[in-house]
Amino acid sequence: MKHMTLKEISKACQGTYFGPEENLEKSVSSVVIDSRKVQKDSLFIAIRGARVDGHTFITKTIEAGALCALSEENLGDVDFSYILVDSCEQAMKAIAEHYRRSLDIKVVGISGSVGKTSTKEMIASVLSQKFNVLKTEGNFNNEIGLPLTIFNIREEHEVAVLEMGISHFGEMTRLAKMARPDICVLTNIGCAHLEHLQSRDGILKAKTEMFQYMNPNGTIIFNGDDDKLISFVPENKIKPIYFGFDDSLNYHADDIEDMGMHGTTAKFITPSSEFTAHITIPGEHMVYNALAGIAVGYALGMTDDEIKKGIESLVPLAGRNHLIETANLTIIDDCYNANPASMKASLDVLAKADTRTVAILGDMFELGDDADAMHYEVGAHAAQIGINVVISIGEYTRFLSSGAKNQNKGTEVHHYATKADFFKEMKNVIKPHDTILIKASHGMEFPEIVEKCEAF
């Protein structure tokens, strides 16, 4: 990471430094919260987790080469450097904010109810054709993950593409204060996290907190096909740029050719040009992602040829519409996370298969009082579009199964309380050459099902 001394760090987080005075002018090489990732001259931040307290590893990290530790506990008379703070989590955010301010880099902030990660991947793929890009990895998009991502920015990076995920009011404000985005992208306003945000209007309010700390001369990019976003006027007076299928929008798509499981080809129209590109990952939502990538590419001065190459270079991530072909099955691994909109979109992708189609679906979390009805709607949708077999696993998916059964479309429906129950019956409900969608909220831990299917 770019040079940041212990003196700077202590000041940034308003902590009290203890240890050798000569270390104050030394720079840390990295910032970590996992003791196993300590390198020479790392700063180790002792986070108190639900199961593990990082303070118990401080001495071990110093022995492993850490230059300093951040601690909420007074460590007494020790011969190494540490910074005493009231809250390690708050201190980490303050340090990340300080570090971000020191960087000469463009930041693209991405949020929305559905499609944050796939949009982030598309935008990063596009931008990497011209710039040295750092992007959010895995699920490092919250108040712990985002600062760690920011600390990974190096001097050679020219653009950072940061996914920003929230579930409560005020979270986006804290994320934006660290990220300070130059370009803000909102994919849509759906029904995720209704348990805390109550309504789509609440979700819109929470997501648009991002603009409070964005570059005042920056760019806002919205999905113009979203009814909430197309009518939203940012308080900072920045006029949004819109993308979508409507031909009145700044960036839109035409001549869309659905190639089933082999992706989509479309003509993309910009304010000054048009070009055709092939997206290898199936699903209509990927066309939206490509449009977002084009809008960001244009905002950063890219050419059509560079953008087209970035769109066509995109490869899927594990757990994100990742197509796996084995000797016996075709598997759509989309099990990283789920909400009603993304679940329906993935079922639409599954329906394109020219084999028997099987949907293995798990509970969707944080849907509030309407969770039962939303699961029911997903099951009904699966049957309506002709999915041959619906396998539901979990508590809420009882309602999903009911939704599928009650359509009377001939869909075969199975419900299991647990994954273990399903594994006992797996060979009886899955057949060779099936195309299988595997999707659920992250907490259901469905990668285990992907592994079982790969070995089928």
CATH 3.40.1390.10 in the chain: give the residue spans. 6-87
Q: CB of 441 within 8 A of CB of 359?
A: no
Cα 71 → chain centroid: 30
| Alpha carbon distance 328, 321 (integer Å) | 19
Three-class DSSP category at 375:
helix
113, 277, 271: which is closest to 192 by C-alpha?
A: 113
Look up residue 58 and give its amino acid.
I
| Alpha carbon distance 256, 314 (integer Å) | 18
pLDDT in tens, 385-433: 999 999 999 999 999 999 999 998 999 999 999 999 999 999 999 999 9
Does 357 appear as a known binding residue? Answer: no
pLDDT in tens, 172-186: 999 999 999 999 999
Does 118 appear as a known binding residue? Answer: yes
Contacts of residue 21, defined as CB under 8 A and 6 or more positions apart, other chains included, come to none
360, 365, 338, 319: which is closest to 440 by C-alpha?
A: 338
Contacts of residue 171, defined as CB under 8 A and 6 or more positions apart, other chains included, come to 142, 143, 206, 209
Domain 6-87 in CATH 3.40.140.10? The answer is no
Does 368 appear as a known binding residue? Answer: no
Does 112 appear as a known binding residue? Answer: yes
Residue 15 tokens, joined? 């902590």
Which of the residues in the chain have pLDDT under 70?
192-195, 318-319
| Alpha carbon distance 232, 181 (integer Å) | 19
Tally helices (H) and strands (E) across the chain. Answer: 16, 20
> What number does CATH give the domain 322-454?
3.90.190.20
148, 127, 129: which is closest to 138 by C-alpha?
A: 148
13, 37, 16, 40: which is closest to 26 by C-alpha?
A: 40
- Note the pLDDT of residue 193: 62
Q: Residue 152, class by beta-carbon neighbours within 10 Å (0-12 exposed, 13-18 middle, 19+ buried)?
A: middle
- Note the pLDDT of residue 2: 82
Contacts of residue 20, defined as CB under 8 A and 6 or more positions apart, other chains included, come to 79, 81
Q: CB of 334 within 8 A of CB of 446?
A: no
> Among the residues of 65-188, which ranges form H helices?
88-101, 116-127, 145-151, 171-179
Does 113 appear as a known binding residue? Answer: yes
Beta strands in 261-314 (DSSP E): 264-269, 274-279
407, 283, 290: which is closest to 353 by C-alpha?
A: 283
| Alpha carbon distance 185, 299 (integer Å) | 12
Q: CB of 233 within 8 A of CB of 204?
A: no
- Note the pLDDT of residue 319: 64
| Alpha carbon distance 141, 164 (integer Å) | 5
- Note the pLDDT of residue 194: 66
Residue 50 tokens, joined? 């639900």
Domain 103-313 in CATH 3.40.1190.10? The answer is yes
- Note the pLDDT of residue 192: 65
Helices 419-429, 447-454: inter-axial angle, 10-degree rounding:
30
**C-alpha angle with apex 80: 74 to 81, nearest 5 degrees?**
70
CATH 3.90.190.20 in the chain: give the residue spans. 322-454
Percent of the chain with pLDDT over 90: 82
CATH 3.40.1190.10 in the chain: give the residue spans. 103-313
**How many Cβ atoms from other residues are within 10 Å of residue 154's Cβ?**
12
